[in-house]
Amino acid sequence: FEINSQHGSVRAATVTLPHNKIQTPVYMPVGTQGTLKAITQSQIYQLNPKIMLSNTFFLNLRPGTDTLDMFSGLHNFSGINTNFLTDSGGFQMVSLLDLTEITEEGVQFTSPVDSKRIMLSPEESIRTQQSIGSDVMMVLDDVVSAELDPVKDKARIEQATQRTTRWLDRCINAHTNLNQTMFAIVQGHLDISKNGFREQSIRDIVERKDQLGGIAIGGLSGGETKDQFWKVVKYCCDKLPNDKPRYLMGVGYPLDIVTCVMLGVDMFDCVYATRTGRFGTAFTLEGEINLTREQFSTDNNVIMKGCRCEACYGGISRAYLNCLLKENESVAGSLVSMHNVCFLLDLMTNMRLAILKNEQNQFVQQFLHGWCGDKIDQWAIDALKSVGC
């Protein structure tokens, strides 16, 4: 991990991984099953992401580790030769809570595929990720919802924070493939008080940092207010070591990632770009547009001038996409999804260039006035002001 330029909290860096180098800040497109939904392999190569995210839980269900071992990992199985980061499966504790039972041993799931009971322990999570052959493995953490009451649910929050550290040690002991790097995850709910749960989690991770390739900030994007969100992110970035990449899990809305880069985050992932793209919502430098609306039915402009995605570079009009979306043609959702991923990849590339020239404040102000217009969210104003922007 090499920092190329840093100004206060914001930085541009390079992370060296087995399949290529990643230049940060970076957005990681989410390919739950090893590919981006509704986007072909050749289109992925056009987009040229240097790292993608896949889901350990779902890859373990299908195709399973036997198949992945037969192909010597996800890269050969999928035919995608870029870096992969795999999450541990811990997030499914919250998203599939009615199907899970959490104990000290691990997380027992009822499979949504065949209803079989599956035990995902820290050791099993690492073994599965080693079968996947991901370049970055995430440790298994005990995830609690941000919506828990900090007083009424204090015992559960404390248990999850301390268990996450115990599971971190078990993941470290299970990690045998040194070609794969491993990231720890900061938990601790929304507690950023002195000697609080977030501080305890960070302290435990810092004690083990020499055995880790990076550190993630977890437990957010789960129901907290935006004011709580940015304060937890800033708190963690301020206390995390400067010599490790910082990954903010599950965050990928354009305003959020631009703001959090300024707070000190390096890496992001989120399904929002492709999930909304499939239904016709497109990102532009002037904000989001819903291409299914009647106002675009005669609009001969591309989604966004200057964009390198297949739709924009190919001259496909908003009117044509509007027509395809209304007819439920799947190609329309694919094209808009591609555009949104391209938008986020290039947004981070351009922000990196601004950081290298120490022009990040100007970049952010220009982005804000384009994306938000005259109605910039107060939380973003407060967050940026906290780092002098």
78 and 167 housed in the same domain:
yes
205 and 304 housed in the same domain:
no
Out of 243, 270, 297, a domain closes at 270
Q: HSE-up of 248 (CA within 13 Å, CB side)?
A: 31
Let me know if 374 is a catalytic residue.
no
Share the mean pLDDT of the chain.
94
266 and 281 housed in the same domain:
no
Report, as an integer, the average pLDDT of 49-64: 91
> Each residue of 91-121: b (16+ CB within 10 Å) or e?
bbbbebeebbebeeebbebeeeeeeeebebb
Q: Does residue 221 surpass a pLDDT of 90? A: no
Q: What is the pTM for the complete model shown?
A: 0.95
Number of domains in the chain: 2
Out of 270, 289, 322, a domain closes at 270
Residue with tokens 């900061």: 186
Q: Considering the domain boundaries, does residue 377 fall inside one?
A: no
185 and 231 housed in the same domain:
yes
Q: Does residue 88 surpass a pLDDT of 60? A: yes
Pairwise CA distance, residues 204 & 50, whole Å: 30
- CA-closest candidate to residue 26, choices 189, 257, 237: 257
Q: Considering the domain boundaries, does residue 10 fall inside one?
A: yes
Q: Are 156 and 144 in contact (CB under 8 A)?
A: yes
Report, as an integer, the average pLDDT of 153-167: 98
251 and 297 housed in the same domain:
no
Going 200 to 202 to 208 to 211, the CA torsion angle's sign is: positive
Q: Considering the domain boundaries, does residue 366 fall inside one?
A: no
Q: How many angstroms separate the Cα of 383 from the Cα of each of 6, 123, 310, 360?
A: 18, 38, 35, 15
Report, as an integer, the average pLDDT of 150-157: 97
Q: Considering the domain boundaries, does residue 105 fall inside one?
A: yes
202 and 346 housed in the same domain:
no
Q: So what's the pLDDT on residue 117?
A: 83
Within the chain, what is the greatest distance between any pair of CA atoms? 60
Q: What is the percent of the chain with per-residue pLDDT over 70, rounded to a whole number?
A: 97
256 and 153 housed in the same domain:
yes
Pairwise CA distance, residues 183 & 278, whole Å: 31
Pairwise CA distance, residues 262 & 351, whole Å: 10
103 and 233 housed in the same domain:
yes
Pairwise CA distance, residues 344 & 339, whole Å: 9
Q: What's the CATH number where 127 sits?
A: 3.20.20.105
169 and 191 housed in the same domain:
yes
Q: Does residue 20 surpass a pLDDT of 70? A: yes
121 and 230 housed in the same domain:
yes
Q: Does residue 93 surpass a pLDDT of 60? A: no
Report, as an integer, the average pLDDT of 53-60: 90
Out of 230, 250, 270, a domain closes at 270
Q: Considering the domain boundaries, does residue 363 fall inside one?
A: no
Going 374 to 377 to 383 to 385, the CA torsion angle's sign is: positive
| Amino acid sitting at position 290 | N
Q: So what's the pLDDT on residue 33?
A: 82
Q: Considering the domain boundaries, does residue 129 fall inside one?
A: yes
Q: Does residue 294 surpass a pLDDT of 80? A: yes
The tokens describing 224, both together, are 């907290």
- CA-closest candidate to residue 369, choices 290, 285, 288: 285
Three-class SS state of 51: strand
Q: At what angle do helices 330-356 and 360-371 cross, to 10 degrees?
A: 150
Residue 378 CB burial class (10 angstroms; 0-12, 13-18, ≥19): exposed
Let me know if 269 is a catalytic residue.
yes
38 and 133 housed in the same domain:
yes
In the set 141, 142, 266, 269, the catalytic residue is 269
Pairwise CA distance, residues 167 & 26, whole Å: 28
In the set 87, 141, 204, 266, the catalytic residue is 87
Q: Considering the domain boundaries, does residue 387 fall inside one?
A: no
Q: Considering the domain boundaries, does residue 379 fall inside one?
A: no
∠ CA 21-141-269, nearest 5°, is: 40
DSSP-assigned letters across all residues of 196-209: -HHHHHHHHHHHTG
- CA-closest candidate to residue 129, choices 95, 97, 176: 176
Over its C-alpha atoms, the chain yields an Rg (Å, rounded) of: 21
27 and 89 housed in the same domain:
yes
Pairwise CA distance, residues 174 & 176, whole Å: 6
- CA-closest candidate to residue 166, choices 102, 84, 117: 102
Q: So what's the pLDDT on residue 37?
A: 85
Residue with tokens 């601004």: 354
- Domain of residue 314, residue span: 277-358
